[in-house]
Amino acid sequence: MNKQKIICDTLIWYNIANGNIKKEELKDLYLIGTAVNIAEIARSSHLNKDKINLLQEVIDALTNYHDIIYVSNPYDHIISIFYPSFEPNNNYTNNMLNDFEKVLQIRDFDNIDWEEINKHRQYLNNKRQEYSDIVNEILMVSREHIKFNHLKKKHKNCNFKDTWKSFIIKIIANYSKREYNHEFIIKEDDIRWSRLDFFLSVWDEYFKCLDIETNRKFHNNDWEDLFNLVYVQPGFKYSTRENKFLEIIKNNRDISNYLYEFNFY
């Protein structure tokens, strides 16, 4: 029997660790961890003297119950879809996985350089905030446009996936030039976009909600939550505990079949 392949958001690994998801439910599933999971766990606020036991339990859950980990970051994963011979640099994720092994072995918490760990975590959090600020600035302009033209109802029913393709293409071009000194060019009409349809559909719905509902804001962890979706391909399922994404997926009949919901206790 082929096991169902499931991409997990990071909260799923936390729920496996704390027993909210029973281990018996996992035996017939093929759980896939991602580079996004690794990065979020590595930057966790639980990486401190008082809560490191919980972090060790989460790392242990990921280590013991994953079937495979996609170690390429989301940008590299997208490039790999369009350029199958591309060889990504996965050193950053692999180094974090090696560090996880060291964290699992820690017993004497007093000899850890917590100040250095906090500096590194703050740097990563500041970068996330920069991305969020840029998006929120764009949203302010977009909301004014919608308000001025009374486009709310029409806007919600529009499909902007091609616009998001253009946005992602620019991100990948800039990223690849910076990281690989080579611009990977992706065309909007490339048939391989079909492998990212779930990703594009959720992005489209989520940003339309942000545009229309003025009380909603793009938060600094949303980049990771959204880019974790690039790993979800046709035939896969996605499991999340984030209510905002559960709502989007459940209410869109074109992608609702991608959702896998665990029994939580």
What secondary structure does DSSP assign to 67-78, as a single string? SEEE-S-HHHHH
265 burial via Cβ count (<10 Å: 0-12, 13-18, 19+)? exposed
Structural domain boundaries, residue 248 = 4-258
Tell me whether residue 185 is in a domain. yes
- 212 located within any domain: yes
Q: How many domains does one find in the chain? A: 1
User: Domain for residue 41, yes or no?
Assistant: yes
**pLDDT, mean over the chain:** 82
Q: Is 249 exposed, middle or buried (0-12, 13-18, 19+ CB in 10 A)?
A: buried
Residue 264 lies in a domain: no
What is the structure's pLDDT at 5? Answer: 97
Contact 160, 208 (CB under 8 A): yes
pLDDT of res. 72: 94
CA distance 8 to 152: 33
User: Tell me, what's the pLDDT at 246?
Assistant: 93
Residue 247 lies in a domain: yes
In a domain, 242, yes or no: yes
- Nearest alpha-carbon partner for 44 in 58, 34, 31: 58
Which residue intervals of 83-158 are DSSP H helices?
91-105, 114-149, 152-157
Find out whether 204 and 161 touch, Cβ atoms under 8 Å. Answer: yes
In a domain, 265, yes or no: no
Q: What's the pTM value of the predicted model, to 2 decimals? A: 0.84
DSSP H or E stretch at residue 32? strand 29-34
pLDDT of res. 91: 85
Q: What is the pLDDT of residues 52-77, one digit of tens each?
A: 788 889 999 999 999 999 999 888 99
Would you tell me the crossing angle of helices 91-105 and 52-65 to the nearest 10 degrees? 120
Low-confidence residues in the chain, pLDDT < 70: 1, 45-50, 105-114, 116-117, 120-121, 124, 127-158, 210-220
Asked, for residue 183, whether it belongs to a domain, the answer is: yes
